[in-house]
Amino acid sequence: MTKLTMGAHPYMLGFEQLERLLERNAKSGNEGYPPFNIEQTSDYSYRITLAVAGFSEDNLAITLEDRQLVIRGLQNEDTEGRTFLHRGIAARQFQRSFVLAEGVEVGEAVMENGLLHVDLNRAEPDRVVQTIRIRKG
């Protein structure tokens, strides 16, 4: 059986770059940490919420490159002068990646009660009908 990819599908023209983006995102090591929600807040807006308890704003970085939203977290492990009897809270780093559709823009990012909210907005698409003239060959 031959695997038909999105970029090779005869009705999906020009989606090769999107397919490469999706493959790169799948290989980026998006594990289960930190947990996150994605909610649709209106017809043209979304909110990604990550549970980032223990991280401060300075420990987090949000970047957008080639329609890929990347959220990284890096905690400094400050254990000098401390003796742990039990260590259940690990200082660990993470990277979460999300592929954004064409026209989706990143709004604001807000930290609130250990949750990082990233708002996304998409402009309402214009409905355009174009008639293509056929010329004789």
For the stretch 24-51, pLDDT in tens is 666 655 568 899 999 999 999 999 999 9
pLDDT higher for 63 or 3?
63
Distances (CA, A) of 19 to 77, 81, 107: 38, 50, 25
Q: Which helix (H) or strand (E) holds 24?
A: helix 16-26
Q: What is the CATH number of domain 30-77+87-122?
A: 2.60.40.790
pLDDT higher for 19 or 26?
19
Distances (CA, A) of 10 to 1, 15, 16, 22: 17, 11, 12, 19
Give the pLDDT of residue 82: 87
Q: What are the residue boundaries of the structural domains of the chain, listed by start?
A: 30-77+87-122
65-124 tens-digit pLDDT: 988 999 999 987 777 888 989 988 777 899 999 999 889 999 999 999 999 999 999 988
> Is this model's pTM higher than 0.75 or not?
no
Give the pLDDT of residue 30: 52
